[in-house]
Amino acid sequence: MSVAEPVAPPSAPAAPRRAPDEARGGGWFVRIAVLVIVILWLIPTVGVLITSFRPEALVNSTGWWTALAHPFRAAEWTFENYRLALDAGGLGNAFLNSLAVALPATVIPIAIAAFAAYAFSWMDFRGRYVMFIGVVALLVVPLQMALIPILRLYNNGATVGRLIVFPDLDLVGTFLGVWLAHTGFGLPLAVYLLRNYIGSLPSSIIESARIDGADHFTIFWRLIIPLSVPALAAFAIFQFLWVWNDLLVAYIFLGGTQQNRVLTIALANLVGSRGENWQLLTAAAFISMALPLVVFFALQKYFVRGLTAGAVKG
């Protein structure tokens, strides 16, 4: 975000939105209060970061904050923990599994939700309002409630009498099973956010396209999708972070085996097996945070815009 806003030369403040003047009071108070909260919020993450670069003996004998006293002493720092976490902790394979779960589980729901959101906004059909309300209502179904029935569905299928409604496809332990589950759980929010955004596009654009003879599919593909990139990106980030950080769904549908487990499961296992190996745990934790943090900082402008488009109605 800071990149997008060029820093103005100090002599000419770049017309701040609300010209702050010291006379309004609180110049110093505001700055100090903001700084205190920011520091409080950063301490936990900084602690992990510093610990992950300290050698084992030091981690166990002194608190991480003591490293701040002499930050330039080479003996205080090491990369060994990261090497150990990637090899011994098996985090390399887990990282790939997390990617294999998270990317498709992000794009599939977006594709399906975008079509539905368009129909809810711009197509005329009976019951569309009721259907949409139904989707909004599903936002509150606790995810945990759905896990067991779906697990059974995956294991045994479902029949009504002798009619097979959902065949037994042996989906447990497959990536496909996890993608579908994440798609189902992510859809209500996706439809809701995208419908809010797509529905607020000016109707004049769509009407003039229709007068020019474009059908719904063309309007959707050529007009709506390009215009909705901010909302699509926002939901993509949201869903990606959620899937990447999820432990429960992956654990239940993919399992905790060495071959299949995702990063969060590997991390939880490390906590269980090496709960006091702080140098290893913190390095592992940081490996798991790395990609979400990069995604978050690279795309946070979209993220914030999309979230606020969904939640703040002007």
Nearer to another protein, 151 or 227 (CB): 151
Q: Write down the least CB distance from residue 121 to another protein, Å.
A: 10
Nearer to another protein, 83 or 152 (CB): 152
Closest CA to 191 of 147, 227, 235: 235
Nearer to another protein, 227 or 291 (CB): 291
Q: Write down the least CB distance from residue 162 to another protein, Å.
A: 19
**Bridge-partner residues for 159, per DSSP?**
164
Alpha-carbon torsion angle 224, 229, 233, 236, nearest 10 = 20
Q: Write down the least CB distance from residue 73 to another protein, Å.
A: 18
Return contacts of 56-63, CB within 8 angstroms, 24+ apart. 56/81, 56/277, 56/279, 59/278, 59/279, 60/278
Region of 70 on the Ramachandran plot (φ > 0 left; ψ -120 to 50 alpha; else beta): beta
Q: Write down the least CB distance from residue 184 to another protein, Å.
A: 2
Distance CA 145, CA 260 (A): 24
Nearer to another protein, 78 or 97 (CB): 97
Q: Write down the least CB distance from residue 176 to another protein, Å.
A: 5
Nearer to another protein, 87 or 134 (CB): 134
